[in-house]
Structures are given as structure tokens and as C-alpha cells.
Copies of this chain bind each other. A is one copy, B any other.
């Protein structure tokens, strides 16, 4: 399956509204639950996506596009949101994510990337050589994965409550 920018951005531009529809105004029970130590609650998922806008996707794309001597990405802090979201409400995070994502997409569109640029390479600190195309496709999959993760965390609250239906709903045991 190839990747084109129009198609990829169709997902990226919808993610903030999807999280807002799913989580906006929700009782705290649904937004603070998690899967145990060092796992993400729905609240943490939004904070993690915010950190990605600041530290991951566009900054890494810029490293690739610059094609300077050092093309190595900064390691990514998966738990940055524990610090960065402190004291904020979910409503604030949803607004912040929407604003940052809109800015990221404006930057991305402004680049008018060509096929040649999509093939340019950078160095991931653990995965080695990657292309700009792979980075942008990963951004899309990462969004979708965090929507899935958020709904899975929520679903698990009712693992016991659904009784025998648990056999039909693998999401609560994933």
C-alpha cells in the first residue's frame, strides 16, 4: 500500500475532532482509567499526542528535509505527558492538541512535498535509516493506534460487568 499526502492528511486532520467527540465532557471515570503502572489513560493519550506535535513528527521531518550532516532524530520521551499535562484539564488538552495539529498540518502543506523529498532519509535512534514517507505514514498509524488504545482502556473498565459476553468482546482482554 502506497502513501500519498492527501490521503494521509485526511486522517491526521480528523484526529483532534475524534478525540473531542469521544472524550469531551466525559465523566472522569472514563478519562483517568488506565491498564496499570506505566500505561496511558485516555487523558494521557491526548497529552502524548500533544507531545508528538511538539517533539516528534514535524521536528523529525525537518531533520530529514534539512539533510544536514547529522540526520539523527532526538530520542522520543513516551512519558513526557506525565510532566507536561500536570495541572491541565482534559478540555485544555483537547484544545491544545487541535491547535498544535492544525499548525503541524499547515507546515506540512506549506512544504508541498515531492516524491523525491518523501524518499529522503533520516536516522532513527533505535530503528536506523527511515524515509520521510515512512515517518509521515507512521504519524497516521500512530494517531489511529492511540484512538484504538483509548477505546480499549475504556472498554476494560467493564471486563467483569459484561459477564458471559466477554467471550465475544476480545477488546477487554487485549
Contact = CB atoms under 8 A, between A and B. Distances in A.
B29 A7 contact: yes
B14 A22 contact: yes
Interface of A is mostly: helix
A169 B27 contact: no
A144 B153 CA distance: 9
Interface in A1-23: 1-3, 6-7, 10-11, 14, 17-18, 20-22
Contact of A14 (B21, B29, B131, B155): B21
A134 B163 contact: yes
How often does this chain occur in the complex, in copies? 2
B134 A144 contact: no
A64 to B, nearest CB: 13
A158 to B, nearest CB: 5
Contact of A18 (B22, B127, B165): B22
Interface stretch (A43-51, A81-89, A104-112, A135-143): A135-143
A167 interface: yes
Interface of A: 1-3, 6-7, 10-11, 14, 17-18, 20-22, 26-27, 29-30, 124, 127-128, 130-131, 133-134, 137-138, 140-142, 144-145, 147-148, 151-152, 154-155, 157-165, 167-172, 174
6 contacts: A1-B159, A2-B161, A134-B163, A141-B158, A144-B152, A148-B155
